[in-house]
Amino acid sequence: MEKKKKRYSVLTYIFNGYEKVHEIIEKDEDAEYILVTDDPELVSDTWTVVTDEKLDGLSVFDKCYQVRFHPFDYVNTDTCFRIDGSVKVMSSLAPIVDKFDEGGYDVLLMHHPRRNSLIDEYNTWILGRGYDANNAVKILNGLANFGWSINDHGLYEFTVCLMKDNKMNRDMNNITYDLLKYFGKDGEIERLDQTVYSYVVDKFGGYAGIKVLLTDESLITDSRYFQWYMHNSDTKIGKTGHRGYLCQQFLLGQPVEPVNID
């Protein structure tokens, strides 16, 4: 008998042992849970583990972004949550999918809680993480050639997203991936992806009429659905004491108030 197709997928990934496996607390019988890895010895009680040998020899970020921006190459449904390995699934995600489907959305995104422009994000990485300032200038100049403006606002956090398998999302994922490869150096893909993806959503998605369900970081720090952790640890990241909500939030260049999913 042919298996009934699941309603939605949850896709995560762990490469080079960067994260520990966060086991799922409550699974939905109508969902599939896929964990992609490069470790043939990685096991899980709750995830279906897939070892992708095609990624052998790539840098850790090339591996991550190959999965992140090609999610439907790994799942068997047309609705997919793509979550970082630092995020634990706490309960059924069906209520989110219900809201997503009822609204006819293309993608669910989280707005960044503290920054709302690409320049602010690059400056933060330069000052706090030693990011190459010359590389930031190169990327911003490159995006300016494609229509980005210093006056543009909008920055999406890519720790969790939900998307439909449609031409718009595949095109935006491919454009983002190609730009990250173009902006990379020393044979490796560009590390900072949420700036480039934010640009693609606002410019290409906005032009194509994308419908975004915009929420905020409380989805992963203060909801019944997900819990975010410090890298490779059981230390929870909470809304209080981690990052406040300190800036005007934008969607497709316009000021908005995000939806509280919970």
Q: Which two tokens stand for residue 216?
A: 């905020």
Q: Which two tokens stand for residue 46?
A: 């709750």
Give me the helices (H) in the chain, please: 60-68, 94-102, 118-129, 133-145, 167-183, 194-200, 206-208, 218-221
Q: Percentages helix, strand, coil for the chain, rounded to the nearest 5? A: 30, 20, 45
Spell out where the chain has E strands.
8-14, 31-37, 48-51, 79-83, 87-89, 107-111, 156-164, 212-215, 226-228, 249-251, 254-256
Torsions phi, psi of 139, nearest 5? -70, -45
pTM of the full predicted structure?
0.94
Q: What is the pLDDT of residue 248?
A: 84
What domains sit in the chain, N to C, each tagged with a CATH number? 8-256 (3.90.550.10)
Q: What is the pLDDT of residue 242?
A: 42
pLDDT tens for 11-53 read: 999 999 999 999 999 999 999 999 999 999 999 999 999 999 9
Q: What is the pLDDT of residue 260?
A: 82
Gyration radius of the chain's alpha carbons: 18
Q: Which two tokens stand for residue 109?
A: 């995104």
